[in-house]
Amino acid sequence: MTQTIKLAIIVPCYNYGDYVGEAIASVTSQLRDDCELIVIDDGSTDGSWGVISDAGVRAVRMSNGGAIGACVAGLDLTTAPHVLFLDADDKLKPGALDAILSRLDPEVAKLQFALTRIDARGEWISGAVPALDDYREREALADRVAKTGVYRSPPTSGNVFRRDVADLIREIDYERSVDGVLLYAAPFTGDVVSVSEELGCYRVHGRNVANTVHKSDAVGIRNNVERFIKRMEHLKVVARRLGWEGDLFDPHDVFVTRERKFYLDVVSGRRPSLSCLVSLLVRLTDERLKAKNKLGLATLFVLAAVLPNGRATMLIKYRSHINGRSAAGFFRKVVATTAVF
């Protein structure tokens, strides 16, 4: 009897010939009868298609249209009720599929797992950023998203979506990110399962543009704010459509937006007002962060508000780049920027 397909792994690839073979092998080495794999070459020009063809897996080559278009093509060519979009420069660890499948059921709208950070050569950089907790939640997480618009979630390759949630990418016309609204819509339609175990690897290299939390220049931050607000407006539409009747956040007033606007003031050469600083600190108290992380952010905000602009911008840039960032590094940066203040 044919095994029921439970999970689709879709690998969109654009000019990642150096990595896509490893991504594919990380799946095929543990592929189960209840999983389906498809690779979508998004018009690569670097030899990726040759690597994909040599792997001997189900694959399609299409004209370049961006990651969302490639993922939609993958959705149209698969049938499983849950979907993992595995970036072509990332990979799964041995045993990941067993761990994922053992936790999936029809009520799971999203499963997330931690990703080890590796460099271009596959060498270890650090544990997961962000680190994840183990839980299974729905209402409590939906309440949190309704209040703040966000919750802690890994990069794309660390998320498995139920197909109805994954299908929301068909509505995205305001950004290139595949999983933006999907991450936050999930708790409005089902359970979110979080796994602290690092079941995959997120590759940090010069060509993956998503290796920063915020761009540290004024144009980048402004675009980031505009994109986030559009994503949150989309989320509000989705939540209402899914039957959410409670209050929903104002995307202009949540912590993430206020934080980025604060950074925008600093890097644009404007000193943030006292009211702006106070309101940001108040929003920070509601964030689900460890006390030491809240203290670090509060210190950053206060110093950025009072230091000369050049030194304040240095702190913002350190905060903006997660690669190589650490508590000790932040302390050294604080000392360096305040030593002659």
pLDDT per residue as tens, the chain (341 positions)? 457 999 999 999 999 999 999 999 999 999 999 999 999 999 999 999 999 999 999 999 999 999 999 999 999 999 999 999 999 999 999 999 999 999 999 999 999 999 999 999 999 999 998 899 999 999 999 999 999 899 999 999 999 999 999 999 999 999 988 888 999 999 999 999 999 999 999 999 977 644 444 455 888 899 989 999 999 999 999 999 999 988 899 999 899 999 999 999 999 999 999 999 999 999 999 888 889 889 989 999 999 999 998 888 888 887 766 555 555 555 555 555 555 45
The pTM for the full model equals 0.88
Angle between helices 291-306 and 255-267 (to 10 degrees): 30
Structure tokens at 341: 């203040």
- CA gap 56, 22 in Å, rounded: 13
The answer to whether 275 and 306 have CB atoms below 8 angstroms apart is no
Geometric angle at alpha carbon 182, from 179 and 186, rounded to 5° = 145
Per DSSP, the three-state class of 13 is: strand
What's the confidence (pLDDT) of residue 293?
Answer: 86
Locate the DSSP E strands across the chain: 7-13, 35-42, 59-62, 82-85, 91-92, 108-118, 124-126, 135-137, 159-162, 191-203
The span from the CA of 253 to the CA of 283, in Å, is 9
pLDDT value for 177: 86
What domains appear along the chain, each with residue ranges and CATH number?
7-203 (3.90.550.10), 218-336 (no CATH)
Q: List helix spans (H) across 102-254.
A: 139-148, 163-166, 180-185, 218-241
Query: Is residue 130 reached through a cis peptide bond, with omega within 30 degrees of 0 on the bond before it?
Result: yes
CA angle centred on 138, ends 135 and 141, rounded to 5°: 80
Q: What end-to-end distance do the CA atoms of the chain give, in Å?
A: 74
Neighbours of 170 (CB within 10 A): 12
Q: Please state whether beta strands 108-118 and 159-162 pair in parallel, antiparallel, or not at all (unpaired).
A: antiparallel
Most distant CA pair in the chain, distance: 74
DSSP readout, 42-56? ES-SSSHHHHHHHHT
Q: Please, which residues bridge with residue 40 across strands?
A: 12, 60
Q: Which two structure tokens, joined as six digits, stand for 21?
A: 């073979």
Tokens of 141: 């997480």
Asked whether the CA dihedral 319, 292, 127, 178 is positive or negative, the reply is: negative
Task: Return the sign of the alpha-carbon dihedral for residues 336, 339, 340, 341.
Answer: positive
- Mind listing the pLDDT tens digit for each residue in 160-190? 999 999 999 999 999 988 888 999 999 999 9
What are the structure tokens assigned to 119, written together? 């460099």
The residues that bridge with 118 in the sheet, in sequence order, are: 124, 203
